[in-house]
């Protein structure tokens, strides 16, 4: 199964993209666009995830290495039917975490099952040259 995910930057605090749900998101280093953390928003919106207490340790670790603020990318699956599949969103996030190994994600973030052959194609504002990732068979 191939899933195209279109990524776009959250421009500022007033950007409506903060309200996105049923999507992927990434926290990035604003200096070089390195992805530091990948997550997925099911029922809560992206802003709620950013402000969630579950990320407090992540924010402390980032501040410790001199990153006080992050840029935020939001990834929207282009097939609307797939956006309602919570399990698939989790699998896509897990696949990206496995492939990119962001410093802010913990090992437990890759423990979910990913269906063999699942492929994510990242487009739009995706910050890396490599943009297609496939789960191992």
Residue 129 or residue 111, greater confidence:
129
User: Is pLDDT above 90 for 133?
Assistant: yes
Residue 85 or residue 9, greater confidence:
9
User: Is pLDDT above 80 for 117?
Assistant: yes
User: Is pLDDT above 80 for 111?
Assistant: no
Nearest to 24 by CA among 75, 62, 72: 75
Residue 36: strand, helix, or coil: strand
Rounded to the nearest 5 percent, the helix, strand and coil shares of the chain are 35, 25, 40
* Rg, Å, the chain Cα set: 14
Nearest to 45 by CA among 27, 13, 20, 82: 20
For β-strands 132-134 and 23-28, DSSP reports them as unpaired
Contacts for 51 with CB less than 8 Å, ≥ 6 apart: none
**Does the pTM of the predicted model rise above 0.75?**
yes
Please tell me the predicted confidence (pLDDT) of residue 50: 85
Other C-beta atoms within 10 Å of 97: how many? 23
User: Is pLDDT above 90 for 137?
Assistant: no
Residue that is written with structure tokens 């496995």 in the block = 98
Using CB atoms within 10 Å of the CB of residue 36, give its burial: 0 to 12 exposed, 13 to 18 middle, 19+ buried: buried
User: Is pLDDT above 70 for 135?
Assistant: yes
Q: Please provide the average confidence, as pLDDT, over all residues in the chain.
A: 92
Please tell me the predicted confidence (pLDDT) of residue 101: 94
User: Is pLDDT above 90 for 60?
Assistant: yes
What average pLDDT does range 76-88 have in this prediction?
A: 89
User: Is pLDDT above 90 for 120?
Assistant: yes
User: Is pLDDT above 80 for 87?
Assistant: yes
């Amino acid at each position: 199964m191939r899933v195209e995910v279109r990524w776009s930057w959250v421009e500022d605090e007033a950007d409506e993209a903060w309200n996105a749900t049923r999507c992927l998101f990434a926290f990035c280093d604003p200096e070089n666009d390195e992805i530091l953390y990948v997550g997925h928003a099911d029922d809560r919106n992206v802003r709620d995830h950013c402000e969630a207490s579950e990320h407090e340790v992540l924010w402390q670790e980032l501040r410790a290495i001199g990153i006080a603020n992050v840029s935020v990318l939001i990834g929207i699956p282009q097939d609307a039917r797939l956006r309602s599949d919570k399990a698939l969103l989790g699998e896509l996030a897990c696949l990206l975490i496995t492939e990119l190994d962001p410093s802010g994600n913990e090992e437990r973030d890759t423990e979910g099952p990913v269906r063999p052959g699942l492929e994510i194609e990242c487009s739009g504002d995706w910050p890396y040259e490599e943009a297609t990732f496939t789960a191992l068979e």
